[in-house]
Amino acid sequence: MITVYEGGAWLIHGRLFPEKKGSAEVRALLGDKPDKAAARRGTIAWSILEKHNGSDESGRLSIHFDCLASHDITYVNIIQTAKASGLDAFPVPYVLTNCHNSLCAVGGTINGDDHLFGLSCAKRYGGIFVPPHLAVIHTYVREMHAACGAMILGSDSHTRYGSAGTLGIGEGGGELVKQLLGKSYDIACPSVVAVHLTGAPHPGVGPHDVALALTAAVFKNGVVKNKILEFIGDGVGALPMDFRNGIDTMTTETACLSSIWRTDAETERFFRIHGRHEDYRRLEPADVAYYDGLIEIDLSAVEPMIALPFHPSNAFPIREVQKNPGDYLRQVEMTARDILEGSNVENVHLTDKVRNGKLHVDQGIIAGCAGGTFDNIIAAAECLASQATGSGNFSLSVYPSSQPVMMALGRDGALNTLMGAGATVRTAFCGPCFGAGDVPANSCLSIRHTTRNFPNREGSRPTQRQMAYVALMDARSIAATACHGGVLTAGTEIEWSDEHPAYAFDSAPYASRVYNGFGQPDASVPLVRGPNIVDWPSFASLPDHLLLGVASVLDDPVTTTDEIIPSGDSSSYRSNPVAMAEFTLSRRDPGYVGRAKAYRAMEEKRLAGDGSMDAAQREALSLACSLDGVLDAAAVGFGSVIYANKPGDGSAREQAASCQRILGGRANVAREYATKRYRSNLINWGIIPFLLPVKVDMQNGDFLFLPNIRRRLLDGEATFRAWRLRGGEAVSCTLETGELTPVERKLIVAGCLINSYRGE
Report pLDDT digits (tens) over 622-668. 888 888 666 777 889 999 999 999 999 888 788 899 999 999 999 99
Between residues 187 and 338, the one the model is more confident about: 187
The pLDDT of residue 106? 66
**Domain shared by 209 and 179, yes or no:** no
Separation in Å, CA 585 to CA 591, 657, 659: 8, 11, 10
What is the mean pLDDT of the segment spanning 284-305? 97
pTM, two decimals, is: 0.92
- Confidence band of 379 (pLDDT split at 50, 70, 90): very high
Residue 229 lies in a domain: yes
Tens of pLDDT, residues 383-395: 999 888 877 889 9
What is the mean pLDDT of the segment spanning 689-706? 91
Instruction: Show which of 186, 213, 237 is a domain's final residue.
Output: 186
Whether 575 contacts 533, CB under 8 Å:
yes
Q: Which of 409, 429, 196, 161 is nearest to 270 (CA)?
A: 161
Strands 185-188 and 192-198: unpaired
**Domain shared by 589 and 661, yes or no:** yes
348-357, 569-578, 682-691 — most confident range: 682-691
**Domain shared by 445 and 488, yes or no:** yes
Tens of pLDDT, residues 521-564: 999 999 999 988 988 999 999 999 999 999 999 988 889 888 89
Instruction: Show which of 131, 156, 186 is a domain's final residue.
Output: 186
**Domain shared by 372 and 390, yes or no:** yes
Q: Which of 173, 514, 461 is nearest to 344 (CA)?
A: 461
Whether 407 contacts 505, CB under 8 Å:
no
**Domain shared by 295 and 363, yes or no:** no
Tens of pLDDT, residues 70-89: 998 899 999 999 998 989 99
**Domain shared by 568 and 683, yes or no:** yes
Angle at Cα 419 formed by Cα 414 and Cα 420, nearest 5°?
A: 95
**Domain shared by 564 and 422, yes or no:** no
Q: Is the pLDDT of residue 343 over 60?
A: no
Tens of pLDDT, residues 234-264: 999 999 999 999 999 999 999 999 999 999 9
How far is it, in rounded angstroms, from Cα 528 to Cα 513? 19
**Domain shared by 632 and 676, yes or no:** yes
Residue 474 lies in a domain: yes
- Confidence band of 32 (pLDDT split at 50, 70, 90): confident
Tens of pLDDT, residues 408-425: 999 999 999 999 999 999
State the alpha helices, DSSP H only, in 488-545: 508-513
**Domain shared by 561 and 444, yes or no:** no
Residue 362 lies in a domain: yes
The CATH number of residue 670's host domain is 3.20.19.10
**Domain shared by 182 and 194, yes or no:** no
How far is it, in rounded angstroms, from Cα 143 to Cα 157? 18
Q: Which residues contact 433 (CB under 8 A, 6 or more apart)?
A: 367, 368, 370, 448, 450, 451, 452, 457
Residue 330 lies in a domain: yes
- Confidence band of 442 (pLDDT split at 50, 70, 90): confident
> Considering its fold, how many domains does the chain have in total?
4
**Domain shared by 604 and 463, yes or no:** no
Between residues 344 and 444, the one the model is more confident about: 444
What is the mean pLDDT of the segment spanning 481-508? 91
Tens of pLDDT, residues 564-612: 988 766 777 778 889 889 999 988 899 999 999 999 999 999 888 888 8
How far is it, in rounded angstroms, from Cα 282 to Cα 263? 5
Backbone φ and ψ for 406, nearest 5 degrees, come out as -65, -40
**Domain shared by 491 and 615, yes or no:** no
Q: Which residues contact 258 (CB under 8 A, 6 or more apart)?
A: 45, 160, 162, 167, 168, 169, 190, 228, 229, 251
What is the mean pLDDT of the segment spanning 328-334? 89
Residue 592 lies in a domain: yes
The CATH number of residue 136's host domain is 3.30.499.10
Instruction: Show which of 138, 167, 186 is a domain's final residue.
Output: 186
- Confidence band of 346 (pLDDT split at 50, 70, 90): low
What is the extent of the structural domain holding 331?
A: 320-495
The pLDDT of residue 344? 56
Q: Other C-beta atoms within 10 Å of 54: how many?
A: 10
The pLDDT of residue 566? 82
Q: Is the pLDDT of residue 56 over 90?
A: no
Q: Other C-beta atoms within 10 Å of 34: how many?
A: 16
The pLDDT of residue 571? 73
- What is the maximum alpha-carbon separation in the chain? 81
Q: Which of 551, 477, 599, 573 is nearest to 702 (CA)?
A: 551
Residue 529 lies in a domain: no
Tens of pLDDT, residues 156-165: 999 999 999 9
- Confidence band of 141 (pLDDT split at 50, 70, 90): very high
How far is it, in rounded angstroms, from Cα 270 to Cα 262? 14
State how far Cα 423 lies from the chain centre: 29
Residue 608 lies in a domain: yes
Residue 145 lies in a domain: yes
Q: Is the pLDDT of residue 29 over 60?
A: yes
